[in-house]
Amino acid sequence: MRGRGHGIPGLVKGMVTTARTGLRRTGTQEYPDVSPELPPRSRGVIALLEENCTSCMLCARECPDWCITIDSHKETIPASTAGGRERQRNVLDRFAIDFSLCMYCGICIEVCPFDALFWSPHFEYAEYDVRDLLHEKERLGEWMASVPPPAALDEKASEPAEVAAARRPQRTVPAQRAVPAQRAVPAEGDSP
């Protein structure tokens, strides 16, 4: 008869814990009825600022999943001044990201030297067919509206070099002093 009454205190403790937890306010978010409050600079989807893209292909080359497709062609720009030479520039024809392959590592955003790719906090882009997760430049450009502005600089941080250079007054070149011309000394074998 040894174990007959020993389990009751454990049972009571368990019921007290269950009652306490049941009366506590829940932390469940009612998604999708209530939109979640995302932390600042959340990673959702990659947005494209088409004007900044120079079709340099760095993002496509560095992507470990090879989910970025870029097509472009060269366009000749006539010389802006007489006697100048014509220039060529890349024109973006197609920029597509296959989000069924993307692992959201952000390497493409980091390597872009012209700030054409950004993280957007938009994350609701599920599709019924996996083939619809290939998003072209038009759809990627629509997400630029949801990209938050960059975080403010720390007030103790030094001013960026570009801003400091822009605020610096223009240097004036002082007038050059007239230096007297020196006479050349003839070498020993030269005749005057």
C-alpha span between 31 and 51 (Å, rounded): 35
Structure tokens belonging to residue 19 = 């009652």
Helix/strand/coil percent split, the chain, to 5: 25, 15, 55
**In this predicted model, what pLDDT tens digit does every residue of 102-143 receive, in sequence order?**
999 999 999 999 999 999 998 888 899 999 999 999 999 999
Third-level CATH fold of 43-76+86-147: Alpha-Beta Plaits (3.30.70)
Tell me the average pLDDT across 60-70: 96
Answer whether 77's CB lies under 8 Å from 87's CB: yes
List, in order, residues 6 or more apart from 133 with CB less than 8 Å away.
Answer: 98, 99, 100, 125, 127
Q: Is the pTM of this model over 0.85?
A: no
| Domain ranges (residues) in the chain | 43-76+86-147
CB burial string 141-159: b at 16+ within 10 A, e below: bebeeebeeeeeeeeeeee
Tell me, what's the pLDDT at 177? 58
Structure tokens belonging to residue 76 = 């000749």
**In this predicted model, what pLDDT tens digit does every residue of 72-91 receive, in sequence order?**
999 998 888 888 899 999 99
